Structure 1
Amino acid sequence: CQGVNMPHELMCASWPLITTRGRIALASQSGTVGAAFLDMAAAEHLGVSGFVSLGNRVDVDEAEVLMYFNQDPNTQVIALYLEGVKRASYFLDALREAEKPVVILKAGRTVQGSRAAESHTKSMAGTDAIYDALFRKYRVHRADTLEELFDFAKALAYLPKPKGKKLMISTSSGGAAILAIDEAEKHGLLVPEPNPILKERLREMLPAHCAVGNPVDLTGDAISAPDLYKQVMDKTRGEYDTQVVIFGDPIPGASQQVTPGASELVVYLGGAEVEREERQKFYEAGIPVFPTPERGIAALAQFFRFDPRPASAPGRPPVAVPEGLQLLPPPEAAALIAQAGIPAAAAPLALEPEQAVELARSFGYPVAMKIASPQLAHKTEMGGVYLGLENDEEVRQAYQEIIDATRLYEHWVTVHGVSVSPMAKPGGLEVILGTVTDPQYGPTLMFGLGGVNTEIYKDVAFCILPAEDAELEDLMKRIKGYPLLTGYRGQPPRDTKALLAAMKALAIFAGKHPELDQIELNPLLLYERGLFAVDVRIFSRA
């Protein structure tokens, strides 16, 4: 932990001595990462409005710091390095109330990285899907790297907000301009050609060998005539929202071509003496400089990352239950399918962490846990599914993180609890088997490749019920993935006899229960011998 530093208050209680007053506040759960950020800022004469090294957050945590800097008049942008969140509800409140841009580098995106984060800070790192949803909702500028954390914060704090997305690129390097255009397209920024009249005026003004368009390539002439940049910017300013100025050569006087506070994005490549001297002049003038076109454009794009509307109440869940239907509780749905003769995972509900632990122990580890809500048909998207939990502590942690995830949708979701199920044995092929009631033709049977990729591949086929065995066998063969059932490239053939029996059992069950609108077994694991329904969803008419 490297302490606290508030340059505007002339207070330094940290190892890094920071005296330059800036516009960016930084809070970091890693002292080293925080110090690296400060080094970047110091190198560009930017400073910070405040720095807090959070350490293990025995008292003050990220939520409190976020609230403080949101009220700090010297702070324009808040940057955070996080490995986990100590108090989810307070953190959500802080993000909801934030009126300033918040940039967050959240470490622990991978399973291994998440475990490292937990051991480092003793916090529950949470699932990355939850954080992604949370950051999108509350308009947090998520950074993937330390450089992005710095770049995004720098742009939001020191560049004027563009009026629109139209860029004019002037450059001495054609290659660098191409990189800028590629990055602009990636982020939805526009690089339109000048209109014919403007293009003709540029041709009259520039040397004949300069390429006139967008970009305007000044070639090596810019080294001896740097004022060409300013001429291009002055001539095109009224037609474009931001001037992207790429200095790709050692250009004496480059810093004199850019106006502090203007809508001009400066990219300066190269590291020779002239480039270093000109960069320092930019820094002294308070003009941010980016070392590559990609980093500069990506930073500029942060102004357009979110819709202009303010953050409001949470939207509806990612995939809601169809209107007029009710989703049966997991224990009831699994029991009905088991009674129909199809092996299915029991899914009793836990109402608190220790009850979940007791259920997990009764099944034996590993176990799976899922949110139980009548409003949520799919749970993975909102961080409501945890698989392969190996011990009591993992179960407790998963329970709390699942409940925390529902806070994103608390206005729309009723939580009945968290289901606990034994993990199915590995090696099964994931398929989907279900019934759906067509308004014209009555119940139909659906079969296809299953699991989380069902909606991506859409490799499913339908069969009107009732159906003979030959029709059900034909249903299997009609999907593109049928070779996976018979054995493909060394994979074992699957038990299609058990699958046929399950199809017949589900068809009979659906016929006996016309009040059930939809039945879905997904994934249904198909083994060399036998099968097992991992997840059962049954929708009844309200």
Structure 2
Amino acid sequence: IRVKEFSDLFNTAEVLDADNLPKGRRLAIITNAGGFGVMATDALIDLGGELAVLSEKSIKELDAFLPGYWSKRNPVDVLGDGDKDRFIRAMQVCVNDPQVDGILVIYSPQAILKPDTLAECVVAIAKKSRKPFITAWIGGQYVQKGREILIRNNIPTYDNPEDAVKTYLYMYHYHRNLALLYETPAELPVSGGPPKNHLKAFIRKIVREGRTLLTEEEAKDFLHNYGIPVTVPALANHVEDAQRIARSLGYPVVLKVVSPDITHKSDVGGIKLGILNDEHLINSYEQILSAVRQNAPRAEITGVSVQKMLEKIDYELILGCKKDKDFGSVVLFGMGGVGTEIFKDVSIGFPPLNQTLARRLMEETKVYKMLQGFRGRKPADMKQLEHLIVSFSNLIVDFPEIAEMDINPVAIAQGQVIALDARIILEKETIAENNHYPHLVMTPYPSRYTTVWKLKDGTEVTLRPIRPEDEPLEKILLSNLSEKTLRQRFFSLIKDISHEMLVRFCNIDYDREMAIVAELKEGDQKKIIGIGRIIGESDQRVAEYAVLVHDQYQGKGLGYKLVDVLIGIAQEKGLEEIYGIVLTENNDMLTVAHKLGFKTKREPDGITRVVLSLK
């Protein structure tokens, strides 16, 4: 969870282990001071929350015991003469309302009700509720005893409504982030591996030349190789060349200065848009050269690029990356074009990104609502944008040499996404580093473990690390195993294959554990026919392994191959030992272990421990 103020750091840390996190933004506010209720409402709306709309049933129930002149809506003002009975009944109504996700109780000192008395009432109701309670006890030292009661019972309490509302929304975002983390991403069409070796060689050449800034054409070549649609610039060294290129492309066109010394072309007058004819082009060409010579007199001008101007653009976005000294490479997404620096509507994330994380990155911006369509503009294709962000993330992962990169704008026109401009700045220092990913704080998908292998009968399978997207395939595998195979793998029958269980199997930390699946393709369909898994213990010296093979594919060498692959991974990770717990009756797995050099030891309750020393 990302907080914006120093005080929020402590407020949020106190509630991250709360028993009940809000499942939505809809907050019910109960108060004995209408003014504080209004302040809480304003804060809630400003911060992106939602004031719960109470059901008709709830309004009728509140009408039954509140004075006739109460507000008739949320916030529920029990008024200055409200006693504990009013508060209790109001809280019970809000807890039972399905349109309420959480309850904020605001207390202001009144003669009729003591702060500690109400605090005890809140504790009693909150303990029975699955909805989170958060409180604001206003009144300084006078309400301290009540606040202590709330704190002892793990109910967040604050001395003003605004902090209470902020913390509630942090709780909601934390719950949402957890849910998204464990959501099964859809599989995106990603190529088997972009051609990147020639790009690595190109970077070395550029650095030897003493350059760190790539030209637009060079930067777009990187994007194109990673499947990101781009406009193609053509270089003109003379105005006559520019005219010829423009005629072949067809007007209108865009002119941009090309220089290895200029990072932001618009800052020096190096861009001209909407050029409609030859005369307009001649004037614009000279204006660009004149402006650049005046604003950047030391810059080397290679030429001027000409490219077709994209018309009828519905949306402009920015997609960028910058390397932070503490967090490594960070991805930025938001409103692009001229609105980038004016509105500063951006969100950030850490590569590698999958489809789910790409969607979350977009959802955290205001421009995301615009992308749903407005004022006659069609909604943007979210799948295209997700694919764009994932491809951009893959590019960042593969090139630690990139210090900065941005596409601004990413244009959406006639339903298509295309990069109109691109900038890449290189960082020399990372080129000599031996670490594969010195610029990432999270380990990316370990594609180096992917290989093709054949069963004894010649059937070709792909062995690869598991992905979160594999949840549906793993569920099919587990649902179609015999009772014997299930018992040999899990030591019991699995009656309920839950989403939570599958998330634990498929969404793993590649640093601490590894799961290799055997994937078989039948026509257009893929299925998983076996899984080998290794999980490191806390000391990272020893790990436990387990293997599962579908009944139909047992006896074909797959179990042996999976264990052998796991041994190799364990050796690469520097483990000293791996072991497995096998049912003593499972002769097939014990035979595999014996052939691979494991030592066996019978233990009580019908199990055998197999151990392989790697040192």
TM-score, scaled to structure 2: 0.35
Q: Which is higher, the Rg of structure 1 or of structure 2?
A: 2
TM-score, scaled to structure 1: 0.39
User: Which structure carries more relative contact order (alpha carbon 8 Å, separation 6+)?
Assistant: 1
